[in-house]
Structure 1
Amino acid sequence: MAVSPQHFTQIDGLRVQFRSRGAGPLLLLLHGWGGSSLSFAPVLPALEQRFRLLIPDLPGFGFSEPPAAAWGSADYARVAAALIESAGGEPVDVLGHSFGGKVAVALATQYAELVNRLVLVAAPLVRQEASAGTRSRGRAYARARAVARLLPPLRGLILRRAAERYGSQDYKAAGPLRPTLVRVVNEDWRPALPAVRAPVLLVYGENDADVPLAVGEAARDALPNAELVVIEGAGHFPFLDDSQRFSEAVLRFLAGTGGAVPLGSGPAAE
């Protein structure tokens, strides 16, 4: 598969890379944490038949420069809005995966005039209750922070060792983006969902261990105009696990025919 050429622009003082391919109405694709503009590669051939695709590396990922401070989803939405404005400023369809789904919701609430429809894929929009293991690791890390405060000369070493031992894989790999990851993970977008007026398609994997289907169901119930599709057998990356069914659901929805149809035996909204 040919790789789309790279383009660069300056937004908020950061050098941001993006790719563009296809022709037609604009569809903005926002990747998840740790991803890049290449994350959606398996579904691009289907999507570009109907849309001009705008696919950025969000700041701190791929070839885009990282923010100097801890950003939240709203800060990333500002970058997305600038990209839409640079492409003409007309309302566009937006597809966001996981963390990119949070950014898409922030975009739809802060810049509603720029958003036509939303496709939110495996998006952690509603805070989940932490598992017993996660709570235990959190308590251990809190104890390490308390010890670090008592031993200023060893503070950096203690916190690094605690992060290595008790942090999630994303946290361990985040490097300078760790403060941003902590901020984004702790966001709860449930209170903002009723304000989203754009039609929304929610796509979740039946077997997603990172963002369970219950999160998608809660988001569907909180959004005023949302449909839910469940991709049977898929995990956190339904566009990789079953790119054909994923593409079919997205294209049906964006064509205005609705996407909330059962795909396989997984549950879907009625």
Structure 2
Amino acid sequence: MSATRERSVPARGRRAPRPESRYPTREIGGATYFTSRDVYGDLVLVVKRFPGPPTAAAESPRPFVLVHGIGVSSRYFQPLAARLARLGPVWVVDLPGYGASPKPPRHVTLEDHAEVLARFLQRAGIRNPVVVGHSMGSQVVSVAAHRHPELVDRLVMLGPTTDDRRRSVPQQSWSLFIEMLKAPWSAKWVVGSDYLFRCGIPYYIRQLPNLIDDRPEDRMPQLPMPVLVVRGDGDPICPPRWTRHLADLAPQGRHAEVRGPHVIMFTDPGRTAELLLEHAR
């Protein structure tokens, strides 16, 4: 996959960032986006909004909201977001403490992340969205959908964690090591720099129990909306037995595979976008 290139587009009124202020317009993969900084109590969410083309309303049945996994940020969603934005509006978030979002002053649980996401959906007035989570982000979006089903029209879980037979730090660390060996260098650079320099190892370690202690299988039977579970056919973190099990538990669940490792939305954004658009329709 060729690397996407990001560039700034001139915008008026550039000022120092403030809560809920809009940053300069940017562009990636031919799609323009705006960045906002939203404050929810003591937690901050940074959001990239791709408004899509003027004809979006006729081409895309629903807007998309993309939520990243542990240690990383919205950056690895950008190739997928750029493709989806050709047809309609897309929002990509940096959860509190990740990417461009500042570190929280306290411990943030999976439920905290889910509540901030739900409040963002309400505040932004996003109607009938397809909410997409990757890895730990799939756990966040499933919690949000379980608690606030009226805010989520369709749910997508990409590479959902955590496999119920490997819920330990050594097992998850080994799977992540295998994943880094399989991923292309472009993905390693984005993911590795996020882990080391933007999230940081201390925050990653504090967040890891969120991923391991959660039981997403308990929520799946209670999700009323259509749910799509997708894995890469070479994903060492999410075995097919686990992802098929989650899809089978959902009343309106469906399972699909994409060629590639854990970060399928980065390595194969084209096929992943096709599956998401099919699910949205």
The TM-score bracket by the shorter chain reads 0.7 to 0.9
Q: Helix, strand or coil: the match of 2:76?
A: coil
Structure with the greater alpha carbon radius of gyration: 1
For structure 2, the residue ranges without an aligned partner over 5 or more in a row are 6-26, 175-194
Match of 2:137 in 1: 100
Of residues 111-120 and 205-214 in structure 1, the stretch that sits farther from structure 2 once superposed is 205-214
CA contact (8 A) 1:70 1:183 kept: no
Q: CA deviation at 1:69?
A: 3.1
Q: How does 1:186-225 map to 2 (within 5 A)?
A: 186-225=213-252
Q: Distance in 2 between matches of 1:192 and 1:227?
A: 16
Check if 1:252 corresponds to 2:281.
Answer: no
Letter aligned with residue 269 of structure 2: S
Could you say what secondary structure the match of 1:246 adopts? helix
Deviation of 1:220 after TM superposition, in Å, equals 1.2
User: How much does 1:89 deviate?
Assistant: 5.5
Q: Which amino acid aligns with 1:186?
A: D
Unmatched 5+ stretches in structure 1: 138-169, 256-270
Deviation at 1:239, TM superposition (A): 1.4
Is 1:6 the counterpart of 2:35? The answer is: yes
Partner residue in 1 for 2:201: 174
Counterpart of 1:112 in structure 2 is 149
Give the superposition deviation at 1:51.
2.4
CA distance in 2, matches of 1:64, 1:8: 8
Could you list the structure 1 runs, at least 4 aligned residues long, displaced by more than 6 angstroms after superposition: none
Counterpart CA distance in 2 for 1:105 and 1:6 is: 25
**TM-score, scaled to structure 1:** 0.74
1:211-231 CA-to-partner distances (Å, cap 9, x unmatched) read: 222211110121111111111
Asked whether the 8 Å contact 2:42–2:105 carries over to 1, the reply is no
**Distance in 1, Cα, partners of 2:256 & 2:276:** 9
Partner Cα distance (2:104, 2:122) in 1: 20
Give the TM-score taking structure 2 as reference length: 0.72
1:41 to 53, 65, 78: 78
Which residue does the alignment assign to 1:266? none
Quote the sequence identity (%). Answer: 24
Output the aligned Cα RMSD: 2.5
